Amino acid sequence: MRTLVTRLWTRLVGLIGSLGAWVRRHPVIPAHRLTQVAGLALLVLLAIGSGTTLMLDRIEAIPAGAAFRVDGTLVTESQLSDRVKLLGALYGVTPPTDPAKLDQFRRDSAKAVVVSDVLADASRAKGIVIADKTANDQLTQLIETTFPQGRDVFLRKLAGVGVTQEAVLGEVKAQLANARLYDQVTNGVPVPTDQDVEHAYQQHKAEMAVPEKRHLRNIVVAGQDQATRIRAQLAGGADFGAVAGQSSMDDSTKGKGGDLGTVTRDQLDKNYGDAAFTAAPNSVFGPVQTQNGWNVGQVLEVTPAVPLSLGQVREQLRASVLDQRKTDAWDTWLSGQLRTAHARYADAYRPADPDSATPGPNAGSS
């Protein structure tokens, strides 16, 4: 099971286009905002009937070279770029090359950073402090589990793209603080009763099963024409294992006749999985294109899905329902925080729904 920190980060990254957070009580208005709020309220009263929204937009206009303003702090395009660069170095977040997707990425990146800043303000307001040692220990653990070359190599690679160790530790501290904030916000969420769990089971009964598994063999080649010729060879009676040994580009399986072992559908590339799990037992399927090339596969054996009883999944389902309740409580709280922060975006960075805790279906549109 993923750690809380990982789940939170996934939600925050989800705000960056197709990226999924380490994100998580009552609206907080820092002291320096109180006079601003009072002043704006007075302006609203004076401007009733004469274009209030337009007047506020002009008063809070975002200057050239800036991406957004949140809680009175202006973030420039350069500062936003640095934050996105850090995400890229740590989590593989990279801007797309397609112009339409790049526009969405830019808007969702700005929103993700706004969310991060709003959460940092909320953590400070609640007195959440992460010690240097705690952050260092967490970073060491992350490196050991995801970067086998070691910490020194990791830090050198970061330095090569202009990211400092201090920036990395700052990010780790922020995510650990968000995890503690999440715990505080969701602390009062009620644990599901047995009746709640049974209701959830009935709603999702079709999904309560050990998934179907299939034993597969595969041949992968560079081009579609070659894959089509291989499919014809196999249809003519050629031995799959022998053809795999001669032709497949997958060095990890060609010596085993292309044997992929027994897998579930979600372990496979979507296109390949769709073909493999709709093919008849003992049949050959393909060609199917994946990121690795063109594939011709064979179904050797099918292990059907096995339904699970309520007794078998009760506690796992209870945990799942509780997790969803916490997520809903968190999203409601976070949306309130975003409304209170009153972020103002430059036109090119404004997301479709600035106050939503999660990306909307039209994220990136203006």
Residue by residue, what is the 3-state secondary structure of 84-150?
HHHHHHHHCCCCCCCHHHHHHHHHHHHHHHHHHHHHHHHHHHCCCCCCHHHHHHHHHHHHHHHCCCC
Q: What are the tokens at 34?
A: 């109180």
Contact 323, 178 (CB under 8 A): no
pLDDT of 32 reads 30
Higher pLDDT, 182 or 365: 182
Banded pLDDT at 176 (limits 50, 70, 90): very high
Look at the alpha carbons of 203, 182, 6, 99 in this order and tell me if their dihedral is positive or negative.
positive
Domain with CATH 3.10.50.40 in the chain: 210-307
Element (H, E) at 229: helix 224-235
Other Cβ atoms less than 10 A from the Cβ of 89: the count is 20
Is beta strand 73-76 parallel, antiparallel or unpaired with respect to 66-70?
antiparallel
Query: Across the chain, what does the average pLDDT equal?
Result: 81
φ, ψ at 215 (rounded to 5°): -90, 120
Contact 66, 138 (CB under 8 A): no
Q: Which residue in 328, 326, 346, 323 sits closest to 114, CA to CA?
A: 346
pLDDT of 260 reads 96
pLDDT of 24 reads 28
Strand order in the sheet with 66-70: 73-76, 66-70, 344-345
φ, ψ at 318 (rounded to 5°): -60, -45
Q: Which residue in 46, 78, 49 sits closest to 59, CA to CA?
A: 46
Q: Is residue 303 classed as helix, strand or coil in its secondary structure?
A: strand
φ, ψ at 226 (rounded to 5°): -65, -40
Torsion, CA 17, CA 19, CA 25, CA 27, rounded to 10: -30
Which residues lie across from 290 on neighbouring strands?
293
Buried b (16+ CB within 10 A) or exposed e, 288-321: beeeebbbbbbbbeeeeeeebeeeebeeebbeeb
Q: Indicate if the pLDDT at residue 331 is higher than 80.
A: yes
Higher pLDDT, 154 or 56: 154
Q: Please name the CATH architecture into which domain 4-189+321-349 falls.
A: Orthogonal Bundle (1.10)
Q: Which residue in 230, 28, 32 sits closest to 127, CA to CA?
A: 28
Contact 135, 172 (CB under 8 A): yes
Lowest average pLDDT, out of 35-44, 184-193, 238-247, 272-281, goes to 35-44
- Return the amino acid letter for 56: L
Q: Indicate if the pLDDT at residue 21 is higher than 70.
A: no
Could you report the per-residue pLDDT of 82-93, keeping only the tens digit for each? 888 887 777 777
Q: Indicate if the pLDDT at residue 262 is higher than 50.
A: yes
- What is the average per-residue pLDDT within 151-156? 84
Instruction: Collect all residues with Cβ–Cβ distance below 8 Å to 276 and sequence separation of at least 6.
Output: 214, 216, 265, 268, 285, 297, 299
- What is the average per-residue pLDDT within 253-279? 95
pLDDT of 355 reads 87
- Return the amino acid letter for 82: D
Task: Give dist(CA 2, CA 229) in Å, integer.
Answer: 43
Lowest average pLDDT, out of 6-20, 132-146, 281-295, goes to 6-20
- What is the average per-residue pLDDT within 309-314? 94
Task: Give dist(CA 96, CA 361) in Å, integer.
Answer: 19
Q: Indicate if the pLDDT at residue 349 is higher than 90.
A: yes
Domain with CATH 1.10.4030.10 in the chain: 4-189+321-349
Q: Indicate if the pLDDT at residue 177 is higher than 50.
A: yes
Q: What is the chain's alpha carbon radius of gyration, rounded to the nearest angstrom?
A: 26
Length in residues, the chain: 366
Q: What CATH number does domain 210-307 carry, 3.30.365.10, 3.40.50.360, 3.10.50.40, 3.40.50.1970? A: 3.10.50.40
Enter the DSSP assignment of 219: E
pLDDT of 60 reads 56
- What is the average per-residue pLDDT within 286-296? 95
pLDDT of 313 reads 93
Question: What percent of the chain is predicted at pLDDT more than 90?
Answer: 57
Banded pLDDT at 207 (limits 50, 70, 90): confident
Q: Is the pTM of this model over 0.85?
A: no
